[in-house]
C-alpha cells in the first residue's frame, strides 16, 4: 500500500514543532520530511535533522532543477519539500509528515489530493505572543513580524481537513494521534489492507 501523507501547518508560536516532536516520539513509524530552507540555523538546530540549510543560490538551483514538491517564502526566507524523497517514501508504504506553512500546504493539496491536512491554532493571540517571547529564539523585531503575520496565517484554517486547538499540550497531542488512527481505518485503506478478510467474509 502507498503510505499516508499528513500535512501540519500553524502560525508561528502555536506549538506545531513541539507537537510534531512529541508525535514522532510516540508514533515511531511516522517519517518526518526534513525541509530545505535558506534560513540560518538556530543554536539548537542541526543540518539534515531539523532542516537542510542551504544558501539562496543553492536553493534556486534545486528549485530550477524541479527538486521541490512545494516552495514558499515565509518571514523572508524560503522553505521547500524534496519531491523525490517524499515520493519514494510514500511508494515504499511509509507514512510521512510534512511540517510546513499554509502556502506550502495549499500546493501539496493541489498536487496530492490524498494528503490529510491539519491546522493548529493557539487558544488566543495573547498566548501566541507569550510563547514567541518565551522560547527566546528570535529577536524582538522578528517576533513582531511573526505576530503581524499570524492573523493572515490563521485565516487559512478553513482550508484544512482538521483543526486542533493547542491549549493543553497533552490534549492536542492526543487529538493528533486520534486523527492518525482514524485515517488508517478509512474505507479505501481498509479495503486494501483487509482484502483477504473481506473476501472470506463475503464468500
Closest C-alpha to 64, from 85, 78, 53:
78
Cell reading at 142 = 522578528
Q: How far is residue 2 CA from its own chain's centroid?
A: 19
State residue 54's pLDDT score.
97
What average pLDDT is seen over the chain? 93
pLDDT tens for 83-138 read 999 999 999 999 999 999 999 999 999 999 999 999 999 999 888 888 887 777 77
CATH 3.40.50.2300 fits 5-202, yes or no: no
Residue 111: what are its φ and ψ, rounded to 5°?
Answer: -90, -30
Beta 68-74 vs 77-82: how paired, if at all?
antiparallel
Beta 36-37 vs 77-82: how paired, if at all?
antiparallel
Confidence of residue 151 (pLDDT cuts 50, 70, 90): confident
**Segments in the chain forming alpha helices (H):** 16-26, 56-64, 83-91, 102-111, 125-134, 140-154, 169-183, 187-193, 195-202
State residue 48's pLDDT score.
93
pLDDT score of 146 more than 90: no
d(CA 198, CA 191): 8
d(CA 115, CA 117): 6
CA atoms within 13 A on the CB side of 71: 17
Cell reading at 76 = 523572508
pLDDT tens for 23-40 read 999 999 999 999 999 999
Instruction: Classify 75 as helix, strand or coil.
Output: coil
Q: What pTM did the predictor assign?
A: 0.88
Number of H helices, E strands in the chain: 9, 9
Amino acid at each position: 500500500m502507498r503510505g499516508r501523507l499528513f500535512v501540519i501547518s500553524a502560525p508561528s508560536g502555536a506549538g506545531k514543532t513541539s507537537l510534531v516532536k512529541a508525535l514522532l516520539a510516540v508514533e515511531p513509524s511516522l517519517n518526518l520530511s526534513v525541509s530545505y530552507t535558506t534560513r540560518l540555523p538556530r543554536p539548537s538546530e542541526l543540518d539534515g535533522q531539523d532542516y537542510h540549510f542551504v544558501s539562496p543560490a543553492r536553493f534556486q538551483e534545486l528549485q530550477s532543477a524541479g527538486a521541490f514538491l512545494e516552495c514558499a517564502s515565509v518571514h523572508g526566507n524560503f522553505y521547500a519539500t524534496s519531491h523525490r524523497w517524499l515520493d519514494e517514501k510514500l511508494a515504499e508504504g511509509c507514512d510521512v509528515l510534512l511540517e510546513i506553512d499554509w502556502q506550502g500546504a495549499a500546493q501539496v493539496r493541489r498536487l496530492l489530493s490524498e494528503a490529510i491536512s491539519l491546522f493548529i491554532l493557539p487558544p488566543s493571540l495573547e498566548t501566541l505572543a507569550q510563547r514567541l517571547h518565551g522560547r527566546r529564539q528570535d529577536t524582538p523585531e522578528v517576533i513582531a513580524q511573526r505576530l503581524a503575520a499570524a492573523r493572515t496565517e490563521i485565516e487559512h484554517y478553513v482550508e484544512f481537513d482538521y483543526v486542533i486547538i493547542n491549549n493543553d499540550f497533552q490534549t492536542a497531542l492526543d487529538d493528533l494521534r486520534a486523527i492518525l488512527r482514524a485515517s488508517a481505518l478509512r474505507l479505501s485503506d481498509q479495503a486494501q489492507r483487509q482484502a483477504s478478510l473481506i473476501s472470506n467474509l463475503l464468500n
